[in-house]
């Protein structure tokens, strides 16, 4: 069985949808569609209400949940004043944040729906993350409930693809929020595996790939998340505030959804609004350009060179963990790259070796001639280009220095 993240990519379950037109699907009350929304931050309420108001003409149930008394009062008054008959306003305990809003406060509506959408507000807790978190907030709301037409186009995906059980938002992106291009597991991998075992979810979960869901905002068939719903969740199941940054049950649930869906026999997809796709393309291109601008200064100006550097790091790490003394045979460009790698790994070569000694030191490391190399217990790294490696290996073997490795080139 494959990891669900790789299945999504292999089958190209990536959907970019427009709100400008409806592709033909019309939601009816018989579809039993429910949108569950958790609201906490009063200063975001006005922006969020624009999305909520845009769904008025859809035949969907709206469940608005909050642990903030000011928001509850606002929503109750708004519901009466605007005659929002399809709205249900629910007050929850201030424990478990958005996860308990869904699994505790919103549970009865999940059980009475065929499809649900869940979305929540999100706010930065530091000035440095303010701009990127605002973009993440847009990611959650625009890509989940962008408009009436957008939602009907989301539902058309479920109609055309019975194999898809969940449609998630794209991974958040930015300079600091790096789930799109970096390992987003943190301390949560063990927590997810433990939760999967508790819930009887037996599918490939590996930290080789990113967690398939980040942010707890998604559309799904309720049947596809039945393994999560087997547990009768209570507020007391969740950690009290202040919540740790990683490793809690809330973080584990945030990352368990797609694996639960796979365990139920479904696949996952990712859905995004055309406006968000356009903006994120620019952000991603900018990040990649800047990344390789810095990498180019270290001799890694394209992806192949970056892969080569990683191979060299792995090679040198293995050698340095096995030998007390390591020599670098070759003090040219590649030799200096190997020196830099060794130093970054916390090691220093005993010396550079040159076939014919040309200087006493290279970047503070002593240089010895090949004729002076007599330490047969050490490992010698041949740190030159491909065309010269065989010749240097021959030189070592002539002197019975057989304990050498060639650096990947």
DSSP-derived letter for residue 371 is G
Which tokens hold the place of 134? Answer: 């605002």
Weakest mean pLDDT among 27-31, 236-240, 381-385: 27-31
188-207 per-residue burial string, b: 16 or more CB within 10 A, e: under 16: bbebbbebbeebebebebee
- Kindly state the greatest CA–CA separation across the chain: 93
* Domain C-terminal end among 260, 291, 322: 291
Indicate if 259 and 319 belong to the same structural domain.
no
- Nearest C-alpha neighbor of 38 from the set 113, 138, 140, 132: 140
| Per-residue confidence band for 299, with pLDDT thresholds at 50, 70 and 90 | confident
Decide if 298 is inside a domain.
Answer: no
Indicate if 135 and 196 belong to the same structural domain.
yes
Q: Mean pLDDT, the chain, as a whole number? A: 93
* Domain C-terminal end among 291, 315, 335: 291
Decide if 112 is inside a domain.
Answer: yes
Confidence (pLDDT) at 23:
66
Confidence (pLDDT) at 365:
96
184, pLDDT greater than 80: no
CATH code of residue 8? 3.90.550
Question: What's the pTM?
Answer: 0.84
Determine the Cα–Cα distance for residues 318 and 337; give it in Å rounded to an integer.
Answer: 17
Following DSSP, what letter does each residue of 23-79 receive, concatenated?
-S----GGG-EEEEEE---GGGHHHHHHHHHTTTTSS-EEEEEES-HHHHHHHHHHH
Confidence (pLDDT) at 370:
95
209, pLDDT greater than 90: no
Tracing tokens 């440095």 back to the chain, one arrives at 128
Indicate if 49 and 147 belong to the same structural domain.
yes
> What is residue 295's three-state secondary structure?
helix
* Domain C-terminal end among 246, 265, 291: 291
Indicate if 219 and 106 belong to the same structural domain.
yes
Determine the Cα–Cα distance for residues 224 and 133; give it in Å rounded to an integer.
Answer: 29
Decide if 171 is inside a domain.
Answer: yes
Tracing tokens 């194999």 back to the chain, one arrives at 163
Indicate if 246 and 329 belong to the same structural domain.
no
Decide if 110 is inside a domain.
Answer: yes
Determine the Cα–Cα distance for residues 80 and 101; give it in Å rounded to an integer.
Answer: 23
Domain total in the chain: 2
Q: What is the pLDDT of residues 68-91, one digit of tens each?
A: 999 999 999 999 999 988 899 999
Indicate if 178 and 79 belong to the same structural domain.
yes
Indicate if 84 and 196 belong to the same structural domain.
yes
Determine the Cα–Cα distance for residues 208 and 78; give it in Å rounded to an integer.
Answer: 47
Indicate if 268 and 356 belong to the same structural domain.
no
324, pLDDT greater than 70: yes
Indicate if 221 and 277 belong to the same structural domain.
yes
Confidence (pLDDT) at 55:
86
DSSP-derived letter for residue 237 is G
Confidence (pLDDT) at 85:
85
Confidence (pLDDT) at 205:
94
- Nearest C-alpha neighbor of 48 from the set 155, 122, 114: 122
Which tokens hold the place of 122? Answer: 């999100």
Decide if 12 is inside a domain.
Answer: yes
| Per-residue confidence band for 155, with pLDDT thresholds at 50, 70 and 90 | very high
Q: Which has the higher per-residue pLDDT, 375 or 102?
A: 102
The residue range of the domain holding 399 is 303-406
Indicate if 267 and 319 belong to the same structural domain.
no
Indicate if 287 and 313 belong to the same structural domain.
no
Confidence (pLDDT) at 275:
96
Contact status, residue 90 vs residue 64, Cβ threshold 8 Å: yes
Decide if 296 is inside a domain.
Answer: no
Look at the chain and count its residues: 409
Decide if 229 is inside a domain.
Answer: yes
CATH code of residue 373? 3.40.50.20
Decide if 29 is inside a domain.
Answer: yes
Confidence (pLDDT) at 177:
85
The proportion of the chain whose per-residue pLDDT surpasses 70, expressed as a percent, equals 100
Indicate if 203 and 89 belong to the same structural domain.
yes
**CA 117 vs CA 126, 220, 236: distances in Å:** 29, 7, 24
């Amino acid at each position: 069985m494959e990891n669900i993240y790789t299945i999504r990519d292999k089958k190209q379950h990536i959907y970019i949808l427009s709100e400008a037109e409806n592709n033909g699907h019309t939601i009816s009350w018989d579809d039993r569609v429910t949108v569950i929304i958790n609201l906490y931050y009063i200063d975001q309420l006005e922006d969020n209400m624009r999305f909520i108001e845009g769904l008025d003409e859809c035949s969907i149930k709206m469940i608005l949940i909050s642990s903030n008394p000011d928001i509850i009062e606002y929503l109750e008054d708004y519901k009466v004043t605007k005659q929002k008959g399809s709205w249900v306003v629910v007050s929850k305990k201030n424990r478990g944040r958005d996860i308990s809003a869904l699994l505790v406060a919103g549970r009865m509506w999940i059980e009475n729906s065929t499809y649900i959408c869940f979305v929540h507000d999100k706010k930065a807790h530091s000035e440095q993350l303010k701009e990127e978190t605002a973009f993440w907030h847009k990611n959650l709301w625009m890509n989940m409930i962008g408009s009436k037409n957008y939602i009907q186009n989301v539902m058309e995906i479920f109609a055309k693809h019975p194999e898809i059980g969940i449609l998630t938002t794209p991974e958040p992106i930015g300079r600091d929020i790096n789930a799109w291009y970096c390992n987003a597991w943190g301390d949560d991998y063990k927590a997810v595996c433990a939760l999967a075992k508790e819930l009887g979810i037996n599918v490939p979960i590996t930290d080789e790939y990113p967690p398939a869901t980040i942010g707890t905002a998604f559309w799904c068939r309720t049947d596809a998340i039945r393994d999560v719903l087997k547990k009768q969740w209570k507020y007391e199941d969740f950690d009290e505030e202040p919540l740790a940054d990683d490793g809690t049950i809330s973080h584990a649930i945030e990352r368990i959804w797609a694996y639960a869906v796979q365990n139920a026999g479904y696949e996952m997809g990712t859905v995004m609004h055309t406006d968000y796709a356009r903006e994120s393309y620019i952000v991603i291109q900018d990040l990649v350009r800047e990344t390789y601008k810095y990498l180019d200064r270290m001799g890694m100006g394209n992806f192949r060179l970056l892969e080569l550097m990683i191979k060299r790091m792995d090679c040198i790490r293995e050698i340095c963990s096995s030998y007390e003394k390591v020599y670098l045979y070759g003090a040219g460009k590649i030799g200096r790259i190997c020196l830099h790698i060794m130093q970054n790994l916390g090691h220093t070569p005993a010396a550079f070796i040159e076939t014919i000694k040309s200087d006493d030191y290279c970047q503070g490391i002593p240089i010895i001639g090949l004729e002076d190399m007599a330490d047969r217990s050490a490992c010698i790294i041949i740190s030159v280009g491909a065309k010269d490696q065989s010749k240097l290996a021959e030189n070592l073997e002539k002197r019975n220095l057989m304990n050498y490795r060639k650096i990947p080139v």
